[in-house]
Amino acid sequence: MTASTAANLLALVHLAYVGFVVVGQALIVWGGLAEWDWIRNPWFRWLHLGAIGIVVAEVALGVYCPLTLLEAQWRGEATDGAGFIAEWVGRLLYFDIALWQAHVAYLVFALITLGSFVRWPPRRFGT
């Protein structure tokens, strides 16, 4: 497997992670308002809370996302002409904003996630 292929696969994993966090939160709120029972699934909810918790821990510790760093390392310096996957995943994941703005967005999103965890708590495991 080439470094470019590995970077593309990692970019797709990264996109899936972000999608789980963002789409998952939207479904939790929508499902909570619609009183869907499945949004209280403890596996889903604890994994979701843990996923955003990892992002908050990165911000709190002042570290860059390891997926971003590894992808950049595998791609090397040049990303121009990296291909379809790199182009579109990059457009979905990376925005040209200041780092502090991204951190504020992550923290606000985490507060929304925590609030929905309290508002629509998961069921206990085994119930």
CA separation for the pair 38, 127 (Å, rounded) = 12
Residue 124 lies in a domain: no
pLDDT < 50 regions, the chain: none
Residue 29 lies in a domain: yes
Residue 99 lies in a domain: yes
Question: Phi and psi for 53 in degrees, rounded to 5?
Answer: -60, -35
Residue 14 lies in a domain: yes
Count of domains observed in the chain: 1
Residue 111 lies in a domain: yes
The region that residue 76 occupies, defined by phi over 0 for left and psi between -120 and 50 for alpha, beta otherwise, is left
Residue 106 lies in a domain: yes
Residue-level pLDDT at 101: 93
Q: Which domain holds residue 83?
A: 3-119
Token look-up 């997926």 returns: 67
Buried b or exposed e, range 46-83, using 16+ CB within 10 angstroms: eebbebbeebbebbeeeeebebeeebeebbeeeeeebe
Residue 43 lies in a domain: yes
pTM over 0.95: no
Residue-level pLDDT at 127: 67
